[in-house]
């Protein structure tokens, strides 16, 4: 991929326009954050999976969430659709592997919560309900604390 295509990808992400591109996963930071680079080469870009909130890395279930996402996408080529940037400078994106939405997969496996939008339960609420009923992953613990509440009580894992 040329520098021009990378620039277009980043401009589209900044402008809140959706832009889909094949990218190679280079690193997984945690259960909802990963680094990708254009499949043809180029500078890595930090992404947050849209629609989910995975446990903080220092929180119960955090390391398992990172391992689950890594086992699924590490060093693989994925299709990234960038929607916007978050407060931490990450591109917020939908990531598909072989047509499967990885955020939905993370929730279905019990490694993340459907991210709430105001009073709404988020885009993966039904998958979360099924994972909770099956007591998969973090939903096996009735005391599991959603990351937004964990951060409110304990702060970020990263000073």
The catalytic site residues sit at: 48, 56, 90
- What is the helix (H) or strand (E) element at residue 34, kind and residue range? strand 33-38
CB contact at 8 A, 102 and 93: no
Name the nearest CA neighbour of 92 among 125, 146, 53. Answer: 53
In this structure, the number of other CB atoms found within 10 A of the CB of residue 40 comes to 12
């Amino acid at each position: 991929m040329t520098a021009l295509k990378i620039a277009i990808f980043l401009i589209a992400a900044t402008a809140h326009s959706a832009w889909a591109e094949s990218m190679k996963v280079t690193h997984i930071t945690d259960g909802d954050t990963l680094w990708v680079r254009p499949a043809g080469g180029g500078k890595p870009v930090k992404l947050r999976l849209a629609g989910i909130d995975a446990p903080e890395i220092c929180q119960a279930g955090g390391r398992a969430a990172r391992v689950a996402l890594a086992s699924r996408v590490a060093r693989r080529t994925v299709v990234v659709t960038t929607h916007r940037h978050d407060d931490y400078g990450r591109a917020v994106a939908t990531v598909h592997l072989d047509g499967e939405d990885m955020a939905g997969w993370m929730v279905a496996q019990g490694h993340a919560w459907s991210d709430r939008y105001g009073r709404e339960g988020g885009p993966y609420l039904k998958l979360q309900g099924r994972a909770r009923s099956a007591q998969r992953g973090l939903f096996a613990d009735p005391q599991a604390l959603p990351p937004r509440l964990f951060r409110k009580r304990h702060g970020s894992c990263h000073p």
